[in-house]
Chains A and B, each alone.
Chain A
């Protein structure tokens, strides 16, 4: 199939950047989107041109590295999917595909389609850990957890930190990410010792990083590859009030 890629090219963080169009003629529908970009890069290499910088790691939807904005949506036209899981059959032959990096003040562009998401790491560092006994591994059934509680925690823990929530949010809010990390730990008995401090510290860091306010447009939960619900954000707000009163 024939595709015209319109890709954001930017040499470095301080470069102005701009769109460039590339026509690729010999793609197949079975190629994944990243394979199509690989193919484009091979062509560019042979022409002695600079390749398009984009990020990936697992290519199976679990690492969260491959975030780019495709045709006006985070990770492309489908709901709840990573870019690496997207295939060219989702596009029409002869289509033009616009590819942009995540846009947010807190995610500065490193090069082309790669952004720096370490703001997320710093939010994690500020409380997304638990206190655990050292020494031999504890008996697995020592702490009993009900199915509902563990399911809830697992749903939140599924967050892969891809940044689609921030990218798609018109306010660049990191509320979905932060709430997932908080609710994952605060919902479990293991997270109880630092529960209140965790909420206060992580939300404070989220704010310090310059993310915007959540206005519940709901775009994040649609673009989240893991389908994390925005109800998590409401729950984080409740935990925040609780932490302010009892913390």
Chain B
């Protein structure tokens, strides 16, 4: 059943990305520390990540996951559209399902736009060396802190980074609890717990990601 196969790919890569977000967020939390402490820690942490061979493998897994997640989501969306070529004149979906669940594709597009801009802001400059060169801090690490702090002193970027955490939150809420079901987990009581965990996870992750740029802005 390729229906199942396609959805499992989306679910499995999605779950992997959920775990990644926790790791990513923990690094962002360094930005909450006082500036002199944060700069050193943030830069050495990012150097550690860039140079560890294990992280290199994880990074490739990450790229692969994002690409597979997007490609399969696209295929599934096209096929689903084909399965319902004519819609209803009147449709009252809000009475039987959550808005997020009905709009995962749209939410995903927002997140993809975010990822592209985010990668251009950081990944392209720091890893690929494109654009303005990144300086070094007092111990010789690439001064990624400076890049971040500079970016988050621009209110437009702060707003962009924060506002796009709303679609992320909704996407995570529906995605996390559905992924486990797509992968065949069907213990009823645990599913109720997972549904609550998804909500808590989505709120914490998106709120934290969204608030940190503001904190940096006002620091």
Contact = CB atoms under 8 A, between A and B. Distances in A.
Nearest to A170: B102
Interface in B82-132: 82-93, 95-98, 101-102, 104
Interface stretch (B37-45, B54-62, B164-172, B181-189): B181-189
B88 A69 contact: yes
B89 A19 contact: yes
Interface string A216-237: 1111001100000111111101
Contacts of A89: none
A106 B98 contact: no
A122 interface: no
Interface stretch (A54-62, A71-79, A123-131): A71-79
B218 interface: no
Contacts, number: 139
Given A212-B79, A237-B181, A217 B6 contact: no
Nearest to A203: B1
Given A170-B102, A212-B84, A203 B4 contact: yes
A171 interface: yes
B178 interface: yes
A142 to B, nearest CB: 29
Contact of A213 (B76, B85, B88, B97): B76
B84 A170 contact: yes
A215 interface: yes
Contacts of B101: 215-218
Interface of B is mostly: helix
Given A72-B92, A203-B1, A231-B188, A218 B98 contact: yes
Given A212-B79, A213-B6, A219-B93, A72 B88 contact: yes
Interface stretch (A29-37, A97-105, A188-196): A97-105
Interface in A85-137: 98, 100, 103-106
A62 to B, nearest CB: 22
Interface residues of A, number: 50
Given A204-B1, A237-B182, A100 B89 contact: yes
Given A98-B90, A203-B1, A105 B83 contact: yes
Interface in A5-57: 8, 19
Given A170-B80, A170-B102, A203-B3, A230 B86 contact: no
For A171, A222, A230, the residue with the greatest tally of chain B CB atoms inside 10 Å of its CB is A171
B153 interface: no
A186 interface: no
B30 interface: no
A206 B96 CA distance: 24
A144 B91 CA distance: 46
A219 B98 CA distance: 9
B88 A104 contact: no
B97 A219 contact: yes
A216 B182 CA distance: 8
23 contacts: A19-B89, A71-B90, A170-B80, A170-B84, A170-B93, A170-B102, A173-B80, A212-B79, A213-B79, A214-B3, A214-B7, A216-B178, A217-B101, A217-B102, A218-B96, A218-B97, A218-B98, A219-B93, A223-B96, A235-B186, A237-B4, A238-B184, A240-B184
Given A69-B90, A210-B83, A217-B96, 20 more contacts: A8-B89, A72-B91, A72-B95, A106-B83, A169-B84, A170-B93, A171-B80, A211-B83, A212-B83, A216-B174, A217-B93, A217-B101, A217-B102, A218-B97, A229-B188, A231-B186, A234-B182, A237-B181, A237-B186, A239-B184
Interface of B: 1-4, 6-8, 76, 79-80, 82-93, 95-98, 101-102, 104, 174, 177-178, 180-186, 188, 191
Instruction: For the complex of A and B, list the 7 residue pairs with the smallest distance between their C-beta atoms, beginning with the closest.
Output: A72-B92, A212-B83, A238-B184, A171-B80, A237-B184, A234-B186, A222-B96
